[in-house]
Chains A and B, each alone.
Chain A
């Protein structure tokens, strides 16, 4: 029998948290909204991350490995060449063309072996970060704060395809540390982070009239400026022009990082390089910025953070992510107003969302993104430890590979983008059900974890399943598990 109070608790866990896990409904108490808000006061640090390298250290480690690999490959190629020359002398009478082909193969193979001898340290770092992040989501009592970290990480996404070693550290250092602070601090942290500067090509960008630009006849890359305005702050078609993009891109020149191979202490850290920076003042959105250094960029970012379009853009995205593909306008306005009134206090915006009745109305219509769905499934079983290889593999299969969005836009939040992948989810659910049959009881999940707040049709399907595995697969695939 459905019970309104329990139903709201389950909705709170599903819509705003990581999904119910054993004991979470009881832990929420009688005031789910209050429990959501209370969770925002707990520290968001990953204690287990203490042993993980900083992004700069990660970058240096990868650079070192790359340098060693290059040296080895070069050595191997040279050696192969020497052997070829030695072998070529007595083989003159043979078919020379074929001999050359074989020699080339041998040289390539030697190079490949030399390259393989120095594995990429980026992947183990990526997996370790993925493990910690996922385990934090499994361990969270509710997971509202973790969901906010995930949201902002996707809003300010970078791609592990480009910077595998740094993608997890980026999230910890820039996003997690600021996800419940002020938007402007989050913005400054992410846009000044080496991972973002690398991902959005700002390391390549130089002012046409800067020292480096004149010397190398190279110039501006507009990528970071455009994405900051279109995706990170104002939102697309909010009145900025191509000239604004160019000016802002000029402002951002010089935002780079210390070359990782060059400096064993600070390599890979943020630095402002005046030799790359376009000299002189710039006009962005009608305002003149005359600063000569990184302060120029910070000033523009501060103004973008405070722009009214940003408050609407951010509020809309948050409400779309948590509440509905077409979020109630009153909710969005309430959140945007809070954003403006509090100068972008993200905790207050989150509180405004869960305090609004609009956020709780309507049936669970959001289709969970694959990552949310997988974590929700694992939480329901009570499992708390993650095999990152399996986990990231599953994420990839479901079309949401962790920290690897196909564009700076990040992963979409609407049902249409994900619903075709439901068939794939069945493969994953079936496989996961097979793995956990011995330790997860579908009846226990329904009764204890979900407090029976699940459609009677699902209970019936579970009762009638031919095996525990099938019962679990049906349960995980049910709308109650996939929608929130």
Chain B
């Protein structure tokens, strides 16, 4: 599947526009400064467990909260230390390396303004940039692109954005033209989807349940070849198709980076990765979430290497619609929560730190005695990136990109 555009009427305009075109891709103000910034937004659909990704190992209540599911510095495998308080999931050595070299930052205890627990609505708020779901059919990234051109001579070629996947993420949809690219590799149904289907079959169709269970067993044997007793029911066995998930993440992210790196390519892009809704057998230290974070870490490596020379002008924001419950549920998973983490990576970042106004983990410090309390509005982070990296004006950010957000000040100092 090749590169396609949502606006076929622009086809001729976009074809063969050559060098002129390359210049026109740059955000107007940044161009004047001699910069050529890139921004890629990665949506983790399903609500990432921030505690499973970045553990507050220095919090005295951490172990009590998660018990034997708590990531620890002396765990098996050992969490990767970030600072004196936080440690990273051991599945993410690339992110750890980037962090240590100042090219990654982590925002913890963050959330959008959405406070309910519907994925669809949560994603709508995250991507639209509005405070309520269903308010608009465009995304904040697309509107930011349009804003960058306002006031000057509008070059219709200049605002192209890139969407990766069969469905362009809402965050990049809108009136600025979007080109889309669909990965060749098929994303296999996630472990989570299979688990849910199995549960559904167990309640409605035992024969189908038996067949699906056999397939899941077979796939897990296949995925875990050589890692132990193949007949074991060990939940840490690699989930089915994790190799395919890794390949999909790497291809999708790597391709996004390749397009963004082209001199005449788009300057902003967006993509989504599914599978983060870990209700059952979350497996942070080994298992479902561990494997997915590992695949995401592989995607980070692909972005870094495919950005090549423009890595130093790149920022990647990895965000999710909401967090998960602070405590583990009865099926060794977590349910829909609120506060979570966002990953920021890129050569253009002033990183090497975890940004968090830590709310604490005591029952009274949790939101509704249930969730990590969000203390950083995710919009502040995104506004900071848009202002300092893409040079979108604060007023536009407050009124158009994230409407009614004047009181949420852009977070400064994120970009080098």
Contact = CB atoms under 8 A, between A and B. Distances in A.
**A, B from the same assembly:** yes
A468 B120 contact: yes
A434 interface: yes
A420 B197 CA distance: 15
Given A479-B201, A479-B208, A427 B189 contact: yes
B45 A467 contact: yes
Interface stretch (A308-316, A326-334, A344-352, A453-461): A453-461
A77 interface: no
B295 to A, nearest CB: 16
A467 B212 contact: no
B197 A434 contact: no
A65 interface: no
A457 B123 contact: no
A423 B215 contact: yes
B192 interface: yes
B187 A434 contact: yes
Contact of A470 (B211, B215, B274): B274
Nearest to B203: A457
Contacts of B277: 465-467, 470
9 contacts: A419-B207, A427-B188, A434-B167, A467-B120, A473-B193, A477-B197, A477-B200, A479-B201, A480-B204
Nearest to A435: B166
A465 B203 CA distance: 16
A445 to B, nearest CB: 15
Contacts of B133: none
B47 interface: yes
A265 to B, nearest CB: 43
B186 A431 contact: yes
Nearest to B274: A467
Given A466-B46, A474-B196, A422 B204 contact: no
Interface of A: 415, 419-420, 422-423, 426-427, 429-431, 434-435, 437-438, 455, 457-458, 461, 464-470, 473-474, 477-480, 482-483
A474 B208 CA distance: 13
Q: Pick from B123, B197, B277 the residue with the most CB of A within 10 Å.
A: B197
Contacts of A478: 200, 204
B200 A461 contact: yes
Contact of A466 (B45, B189, B199): B45
A437 B166 contact: yes
A473 B189 contact: yes
A464 B200 CA distance: 12
B271 to A, nearest CB: 13
Contacts of B208: 419, 422, 479, 482
Given A427-B186, A457-B204, A479-B208, A474 B197 contact: yes
A466 B201 CA distance: 18
B93 interface: no
User: 10 tightest A-B contacts by CB?
Assistant: A466-B277, A466-B46, A423-B215, A479-B205, A430-B189, A437-B167, A457-B203, A467-B45, A438-B167, A435-B166
Contacts of B45: 466-467
A426 B123 contact: no
Nearest to B277: A466
Contacts of B113: none
A430 B205 CA distance: 20
Contacts of A455: 203-204
A430 B196 contact: no
Q: Pick from B167, B188, B203 the residue with the most CB of A within 10 Å.
A: B167
Given A426-B194, A474-B200, A483-B205, A469 B274 contact: yes
Interface of B: 45-47, 119-120, 123, 165-168, 186-190, 192-194, 196-197, 199-201, 203-205, 207-208, 211-212, 215, 274-277
Given A422-B212, A458-B200, A430 B120 contact: no
B46 A467 contact: yes
Contacts of A437: 166-167
Contacts of A465: 119, 196, 277
B193 A474 contact: yes
Contacts of A419: 207-208, 211
Q: Pick from B166, B187, B192, B211 the residue with the most CB of A within 10 Å.
A: B166
Given A427-B188, A467-B274, A474-B200, 13 more contacts: A419-B207, A422-B215, A426-B197, A427-B189, A437-B167, A438-B167, A457-B203, A458-B204, A467-B45, A470-B190, A470-B277, A473-B189, A480-B204
B201 A434 contact: no
Contacts of B123: 467
Contact of A467 (B119, B197, B205): B119
A465 B187 CA distance: 17
Contacts of B187: 430-431, 434
A335 to B, nearest CB: 27
Contacts of B188: 427, 430
A473 B192 CA distance: 12
B222 to A, nearest CB: 12
A97 to B, nearest CB: 43
B81 to A, nearest CB: 31
Nearest to B192: A466
Contact of A426 (B47, B120, B212): B212
A422 to B, nearest CB: 5
B114 to A, nearest CB: 15
Nearest to A434: B166
A423 B47 CA distance: 26
A435 B186 CA distance: 11
A352 B308 CA distance: 71
B199 to A, nearest CB: 8
Q: Pick from A420, A429, A455, A466 the residue with the most CB of B within 10 Å.
A: A466
A483 B205 CA distance: 10
Contact of B165 (A429, A434, A470): A434
B200 A470 contact: no
A466 B207 CA distance: 25
A6 B189 CA distance: 32
A430 B190 CA distance: 9
Contacts of B201: 479
Nearest to B215: A423
